Structure 1
Amino acid sequence: MQKIKTNICAQIFIIYTRYLIGGCFIFASLIKIKGNRFTSESGALNPIDSAWHFFETLYQSGLYWKFIGISQLLAGFLLMTQKYAKLGALVNFPIIINIFIITLSYSFGFTPLLAAMLLIANMLLIIWDWNEFKMFFNLMPTFDGTQRLENDKLWIRIGLLLFLFTFSYRVLVDNYDVIFWLVICISIGLVGLIVWLSKQKKKVLKL
């Protein structure tokens, strides 16, 4: 595991996995915080489905519906900051488990597969930082001293930019376009990666 953590590609993969999970949860959270129905906006359910009644009950709860959204927003934001991503992975874990079980309990087509992938990705993030999490199980935490890319301010700034774009887009736009959102987020991520690679190239040239 130590060798993997020192691998540059593995570290970048973890950083972008945090962006991906965080972005998905921020995107999904704002509809709840705004007090809108999930079912009517998704267009995937109708009143004869048992899942429709489930989500309608959650929506009618009012405060609890918004609480779910705020929890998702907080978890997503923490993940995307990189600096507090470890806490974000822990906060997000019970949320994604609940979502996975809900998708299994009702007829959601391929949605359980997507939820399972997010759950596995979140578990990967926890395993990645397992050395620091040992203290929660009365085990001695270990700090390997590896130079983590996530501490580079560039990745923190990219995460904040992705958060601000997603948050603003979902707040201002009700009839959202998922493809548009994905394209912009991927573009921001690619630009960030190019900038980081450029910085590394300059460092090598200086040597």
Structure 2
Amino acid sequence: MFYTLQQYKSVQWMIIHIRYLIALAFVPSGFTKVIGERFTQLPKSEAVGQFFEAIYQSGAYYNFLGLAQIITAVLLMTQRFALIGTFLFLAITANIWMITISLPFKGTWIITSLMMFAGLVLLYWDKNRIAALYSERDVPSKKYAPKVSKLWINAGIIYIISLLVLCYAGPKTDPVSKGIAIITYFILGITFLYTNFLFWKTSNHVIQSQNGV
């Protein structure tokens, strides 16, 4: 039954875009850490502010966290290596989730809980691939989740490059940076519209063919 569910185009679309979405959440925060800027400006008099300040002052560890988030986002965006990205995403997000539960955040734990749920959904999606890693029996390849087409792989590459460009140019106010940001937003919008149009157009064609239309 689960294998049959994986064959539905609408379900495949949801999984692909969940990967895009959670990767998107990691790019800005990861980029900020990599370049060594503060992720938040919370008062140091509060427990949450003290915690983030301590991480920021750690230096190399702070940069390492950012780099790990960027790598995770890249793996998820490429789709081809999404399972590895899912493992990394859950490892990082589980720590963030526990932090938001342990410290007096206001509502942030809801967002991190949803991120954890999304990661677990992606993990379950590839459960047969995971089972093949430790099972003594060979899992038939047809029981794996369907391979992602090059359409989404190429889109993911465009997305990750565009997001990194926006992280660099977005906050700046000079005309050149603003122009780069506008062009990048345009590329993101066109990529999203084109890939979805082509995907659903192809899906409708397949359905019509199967029905003998």
TM-score by length of 2: 0.82
Q: Percent identity?
A: 26
Distance across 1 between alignment mates of 2:38 and 2:53: 7
TM-superposition CA deviations, 1:139-183 (whole Å, max 9, x none): 54524426966521110111111111111111223369xxx9999
Distance across 1 between alignment mates of 2:35 and 2:156: 23
Distance across 2 between alignment mates of 1:64 and 1:113: 26
- On the 8 A contact 1:104/1:112 being kept in 2, the answer is yes
Q: Verify: 1:48 aligned to 2:45, yes or no.
A: yes
Distance across 1 between alignment mates of 2:111 and 2:189: 19
Q: Aligned AA for 2:197?
A: I
Q: Verify: 1:75 aligned to 2:72, yes or no.
A: yes
Q: Verify: 1:15 aligned to 2:16, yes or no.
A: yes
Q: 1:130 to 1:187 in 2, by over 3 A?
A: same
TM-score by length of 1: 0.85
Gaps of 5+ in 2: 174-181
Higher relative contact order (CA 8 A, sep 6+): 1
Deviation at 1:46, TM superposition (A): 1.5
1:109 maps to which of 106, 110, 113: 106
Q: Give runs of aligned pairs for residues 26-175 of structure 1, distance below 5 A.
A: 26-40=27-41, 45-138=42-135, 140=137, 142-145=139-142, 150-174=147-171
Deviation at 1:60, TM superposition (A): 0.6
- On the 8 A contact 1:78/1:87 being kept in 2, the answer is yes
Q: Match of 1:197?
A: 200
Q: Aligned AA for 1:16?
A: H
Distance across 1 between alignment mates of 2:109 and 2:185: 21
Q: Match of 2:179?
A: none
Q: Aligned AA for 2:106?
A: G
Q: 1:147 to 1:91 in 2, by over 3 A?
A: closer
Aligned residues: 200
Deviation at 1:28, TM superposition (A): 1.6
